[in-house]
Amino acid sequence: MHNTRILLDRRPVGEPVPEDFRIVEEPLAPLADGELRIRGQWLSLDPYMRGRMNEGKSYVKPVELGAVMCGEVVGEVAESRHPEFAVGDLVAGDLGWQSMPTSNGTGLRKLLPGIPPAAQLSVCGMPGVTAWCGLMLIGAPKAGETVVVSAAAGAVGSVVGQIAKLKGCRVVGIAGGADKCRHVIEDLGFDACIDYKAGRLREDLKAATPNGVDIYFDNVGGEILDTVLARMNPFSRLPVCGLISQYNASEPYGLRNFRSVLVNRIKIQGFIVFDMKEHHRQAVTELAGWLAEGKLKYRESIAEGLRAAPAAFIGLLRGANLGKQLVRL
Ligand SMILES: NC(=O)c1ccc[n+]([C@@H]2O[C@H](COP(=O)([O-])OP(=O)(O)OC[C@H]3O[C@@H](n4cnc5c(N)ncnc54)[C@H](OP(=O)(O)O)[C@@H]3O)[C@@H](O)[C@H]2O)c1
């Protein structure tokens, strides 16, 4: 038996390429007391991983060169010398891009019963909780308000829009391409979705938000943020969740419509989901409830096998995914 691991071999310049990663196979060492071994089932691929590939100061340390890429894995305990985990337990944790990780149990959680394991990495996992925290705690939606969300067909954005609909808001998504926009409206139930790649973002946004924008849940930053800023209403809220349009950029985008923040007294707040731990239980409970009631839909894009992870990750940053990007291990 071997453990396959994917290491960060080189810091990318701009868009990552497959050569930035190195795949290694290692024989499994015997477990020490207090350790357990997990047979990985699912690896979550997330945009934040791009930031971890860079050197420099951020809200967490970068992945070291030669170290295993970071990432959350769901799997089954295959072997255990740990008192709290038994063979057969389903667990999740930040175990990295590897097929048979060994853990000392730190940061490992047992999966919740009744929710599909992969969904505990998406709609009822970190992305869903991010959507809930950013929208409910910072956006604070009220029935009748207009909510706009970017990367609307993705893991976080798809949940943001559906919660906002459940709260009685008019919901407008922004996504890349006609197929994604169709999915956002027809499958997820948004009121409208704008294809930002069609080149008419300003005009289309104006048409879709006749009463202006009360909440803009920003997943992308850059030109889309700038355009939405100009449509924000007085006392609107702007949770800054992600800036994916900037992750591969060498020059940051300079906002032109920042004046709107002052004129409209917009509340802008950046947030990182792990700072909001005291709300996670409520978020997961509500998300799981809506899921069970059929009120929350989700999609998964699945890459097959750990070796497919680098290409799937590069694809995620380009928008190749619909819904949550996973790797079946
Ligand atoms: N603050 C937090 O704690 C937290 C937690 C989780 C995620 N996030 C952030 O939330 C955002 C969404 O994450 P996710 O996991 O849900 O990913 P995702 O939306 O499932 O996938 C990323 C999507 O970003 C879109 N995209 C890529 N480049 C873009 C560009 N230049 N302009 C506009 N859209 C672009 C693509 O969709 P299109 O085809 O529509 O372009 C792509 O499918 C990311 O910025 C991520 O970093 C933050």
Instruction: State which residues form the domain around 62.
Output: 2-122+300-328
Residue 316 lies in a domain: yes
Average pLDDT over residues 228-245: 98
Question: Are 91 and 131 found together in one domain?
Answer: no
Q: In a mutational test of the pocket of ligand 1, which residue from 218, 219, 247 has the highest number of ligand atoms less than 8 Å from its CB?
A: 219
Asked if residue 96 belongs to a domain, the reply is yes
- Residue with tokens 């289309």, as numbered in its chain: 204
Q: How far is CA 188 from CA 132, 166, 195, in A?
A: 16, 11, 16
Task: Answer yes or no: do 74 and 143 share one domain.
Answer: no
Residue 115 domain flag: yes
Q: Are residues 40 and 159 in the same domain?
A: no
Question: Do 312 and 234 fall within a single domain?
Answer: no
Is a pLDDT exceeding 90 seen at residue 59? no
Q: Per residue in 187-220, pLDDT tens?
A: 999 999 999 999 999 999 999 999 999 999 999 9
Residues 130 and 195 in one domain: yes
pLDDT tens digits, residue range 150-177? 999 999 999 999 999 999 999 999 999 9
What sign has the CA pseudo-torsion 159, 129, 163, 197?
negative
Looking at residue 274, what is its pLDDT? 95
**What pLDDT is stored for residue 58 in this prediction?**
87
**pLDDT given for residue 283 in this prediction:** 98
Same domain, 69 and 38: yes
Q: Report the pLDDT averaged over residues 127-142.
A: 98
Q: What is the CATH number of the domain that holds 158?
A: 3.40.50.720
φ, ψ for residue 164 (rounded to 5)?
-60, -35
Residue 173: inside a domain, yes or no?
A: yes
Asked if residue 252 is part of any domain, the answer here is yes
Give the pTM. 0.97
Alpha-carbon dihedral sign for residues 184, 188, 189, 191 = negative
User: CATH no. for residue 311?
Assistant: 3.90.180.10
The pLDDT confidence band at residue 114, using thresholds 50, 70 and 90, is very high
Q: What is the pLDDT of residue 197?
A: 98
Amino acid at 238: L
What does the DSSP assignment read for 97-147? SBSS-EE-STT-EEPPTTS-GGGGGTTTSHHHHHHHIIIIIII---TT-EE
Mean pLDDT of the chain: 97
Helices (H), ranges, 17-125: 48-52
pLDDT tops 90 at residue 52: yes
pLDDT for 250:
84
Q: Which residues line ligand 1 (CB under 6 A)?
A: 46-48, 127, 130, 151, 153-157, 175-176, 180, 219-220, 224, 241-245, 271-273, 316-317, 319, 321
What integer pLDDT is reported at residue 55 of this predicted model? 92
Three-state SS for 261-299 is: HHHCCCEEEECCHHHHHHHHHHHHHHHHHHHHCCCCCCC
DSSP at 7: E
- Same domain (yes/no): 107, 75: yes
Residues 262 and 322 in one domain: no
What pLDDT sits at residue 321? Answer: 97
Instruction: Report the largest interatomic distance among the alpha carbons of the chain, rounded to a whole angstrom.
Output: 64
Shared domain check, 213 and 139: yes
Host H or E run for residue 15: none
252-299 pLDDT per residue, tens: 999 999 999 999 999 999 999 999 999 999 999 999 999 999 999 999
- The verdict on 152 and 67 lying in the same domain is no
- 241 alpha carbon – ligand 1 mean position (Å): 9
What is the tally of structural domains in the chain?
2
**Does 250 fall in a domain?**
yes
pLDDT greater than 90 at residue 56: no
Tell me whether residue 286 is in a domain. Answer: no
Residue 288 lies in a domain: no
* Residues 25 and 159 reside in one and the same domain: no
pLDDT at 4 over 90: yes
Same domain flag for 19 and 91: yes
pLDDT digits (tens, 9 = 90+) for 22-44: 999 999 999 999 999 999 999 99
79 Cα: distance to centroid of ligand 1 (angstroms): 36
